[in-house]
């Protein structure tokens, strides 16, 4: 392979690209990675990490209020938003430094600038050409916004993470992960949040009981949810605020929603524009995602892709796992196919959601006969705080062999709890094995091993 400058040239130093580059280099490959922005990618710099820090920052508001129920007098509280943004940025700076160091320590060459693929084995960055035996595209995704008049006045998840000051009124368009997470954050910080959702419920694709419970809990926290509502246009008013022209499903009763800021969280698309991919025969689907086979290989033999730019399961740990499988295949003589079953995920709404396996509707469709167990309760903390917040936990069990095929929770710590249960589901645990497991008392998690009563069949109407 001496005729090439590198064995692997990765485009994009996010979660997937960094993992693949480091691993390949540790196996002796000569690796370069190109990045046009900062090293770290969406998760570290514009997604999971800053978002979760914001969730934590905002949650203190409820914590201070709840403390009164335990005898504390907390006194007046307030957040210094610019101070929080500054400490958050400092932490991102630290993580960026760690990522750069990890690449350097692994012997990976970092090439700064925007890369364009020239041919099957050549990449150009900042006017310089590099050749490589294999090219890996790991360019992630980017917010996708509908083209309505005034859309340039809207923020995306990129900008909202750097908001210089808190708005008084915020409209959020969309009902997916990002929309509900930011709705929770800003509502907890005292912002009047209106969620504008085009469908009839939030979080399409999630278990219906989770979706209904989340909508109920969000409403209790003062978030206004406008269902089956579309935004026709956005205008800047003379007073400086924004006016959203909104209408119901039939768009007959359009009215104006006045806010100080608007966030669009209407999905993300593969970040593949301008990379020169279709020009050299890499196939993209209609959304721009790179079409790959089970080994993450594109239509061009020497070009591979992992992570959100392939639009398979758009989660950081999945991109990392795809990268791991790819490097095993290419550099360790061990063809490895990614297993997409039983991927757990969380939504850091307030309260948060943790979920793994099939929804009730999916399980019913796949297996016909299923058993469903549900537990709803007021968490112990709120017996004293007085807060009206309910936890919901649900197990979906395949009736014939009693395998637990779905596990869903909304409530405090659910992402932490469901991560452990994901191991049990991966091992094919049965309901009897859940029942034979001793609970840890007093916890919310113990409910998952003490649910004994099946939901009556009427619940079993396909949802």
Q: Is residue 345 within the footprint of ligand NDP (CB under 6 A)?
A: yes
Cis peptide before 351 (omega within 30 of 0): yes
Among 6, 182, 186, 348, binds ligand NDP (CB under 6 A): 348
Question: 270, 316, 275: which is closest to 18 by C-alpha?
Answer: 316
Least Cβ distance, residue 146 to ligand NDP (angstroms): 4
CA atoms in the 13 A half-sphere facing the CB of 463: 19
Give the nearer residue to ligand NDP in terms of CB position, either 121 or 243: 243
DSSP states of 292-326: --TTSB-SSTTEEE-GGGG-SS--HHHHHHHHHHH
Binding window for ligand NDP (CB under 6 A); candidates: 14-22, 95-103, 121-129, 261-269: 261-269
229 close to 248: Cβ distance less than 8 angstroms? yes
Binding window for ligand NDP (CB under 6 A); candidates: 185-193, 243-251, 285-293, 342-350: 342-350
441 is annotated as an active-site residue: yes
Q: Is residue 199 within the footprint of ligand NDP (CB under 6 A)?
A: yes
Least Cβ distance, residue 52 to ligand NDP (angstroms): 9
Question: 220, 211, 139: which is closest to 175 by C-alpha?
Answer: 211
Rounded to whole angstroms, the Cα distance separating 267 from 122 reads 32
DSSP states of 384-418: HH-----EEEEEEEETTT-BEEEEEEESTTHHHHH
List binders of ligand NDP among 123-182 (CB under 6 A).
146, 173-179, 181
Least Cβ distance, residue 345 to ligand NDP (angstroms): 5
Among 129, 168, 204, 463, binds ligand NDP (CB under 6 A): 204
Give the nearer residue to ligand NDP in terms of CB position, either 45 or 429: 45
Residue located via tokens 């958050």: 88
Query: Catalytic residue among 133, 333, 382, 441, which?
Result: 441
Residue nearest to ligand NDP (CB): 176
Least Cβ distance, residue 89 to ligand NDP (angstroms): 20
**CB-based contacts of 377, cutoff 8 Å, min separation 6:** 390, 391, 444, 447
Q: Is residue 315 within the footprint of ligand NDP (CB under 6 A)?
A: yes
The catalytic site residues sit at 441
Binding site for ligand NDP (CB under 6 A): 146, 173-179, 181, 198-199, 204, 265-268, 314-315, 345-348
């Amino acid at each position: 392979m001496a005729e090439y400058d590198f064995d692997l040239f990765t485009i994009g130093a996010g979660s997937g690209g960094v993992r693949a580059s480091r691993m390949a280099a540790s196996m002796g490959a000569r690796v370069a990675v190109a990045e046009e922005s900062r090293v770290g990618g969406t998760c570290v710099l514009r997604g999971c990490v800053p978002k979760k820090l914001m969730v934590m920052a905002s949650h203190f508001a409820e914590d201070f209020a709840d403390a009164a129920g335990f005898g504390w007098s907390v006194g007046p509280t307030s957040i210094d938003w610019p101070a929080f943004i500054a400490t958050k940025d400092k932490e991102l700076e630290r993580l960026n430094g760690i990522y750069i160091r990890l690449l350097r320590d692994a012997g990976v060459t970092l090439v700064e600038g925007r890369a364009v693929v020239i041919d099957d084995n050549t990449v150009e960055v900042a006017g310089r050409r590099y050749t490589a035996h294999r090219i890996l595209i790991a360019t992630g995704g980017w917010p996708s916004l509908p083209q309505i008049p005034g859309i340039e006045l809207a923020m995306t998840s990129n900008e909202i993470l750097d908001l210089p000051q808190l708005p008084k009124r915020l409209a959020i368009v969309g009902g997916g992960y990002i929309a509900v997470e930011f709705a929770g954050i800003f509502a907890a910080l005292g912002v009047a949040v209106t969620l504008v959702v085009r469908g009839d419920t939030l979080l399409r694709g999630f278990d219906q009981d989770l979706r209904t419970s989340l909508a109920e809990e969000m409403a209790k926290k003062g978030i206004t949810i406008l269902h089956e509502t579309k935004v026709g246009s956005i205008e800047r008013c003379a007073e400086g605020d924004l006016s959203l022209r909104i209408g119901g499903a039939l768009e007959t009763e359009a009215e104006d929603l006045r806010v100080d800021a608007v966030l669009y969280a209407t999905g993300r698309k593969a970040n593949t524009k301008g990379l020169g991919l279709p020009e050299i025969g890499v196939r993209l689907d209609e959304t721009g995602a790179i079409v790959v086979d089970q080994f993450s290989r594109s239509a061009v033999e020497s070009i591979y892709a992992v992570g959100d730019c392939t639009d398979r399961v758009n989660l950081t740990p999945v991109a990392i796992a795809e990268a791991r499988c790819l490097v095993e295949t290419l550099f360790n003589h061990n063809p490895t196919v990614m297993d997409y079953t039983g991927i757990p995920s969380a939504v850091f709404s307030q309260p948060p959601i943790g979920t793994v396996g099939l929804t009730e509707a999916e399980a019913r469709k796949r297996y016909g006969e299923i058993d469903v167990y549900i537990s709803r309760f007021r968490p112990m903390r709120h017996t004293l705080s007085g807060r009206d917040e309910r936890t919901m936990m649900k197990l979906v069990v395949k009736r014939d062999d009693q395998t637990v095929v779905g596990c869903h929770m909304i409530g405090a710590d659910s992402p932490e709890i469901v991560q452990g249960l994901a191991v049990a589901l991966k091992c094919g645990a049965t309901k009897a094995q859940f029942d034979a497991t001793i609970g840890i008392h007093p916890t919310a998690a113990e409910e998952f091993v003490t649910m004994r009563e099946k939901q009556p069949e009427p619940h079993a109407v396909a949802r």
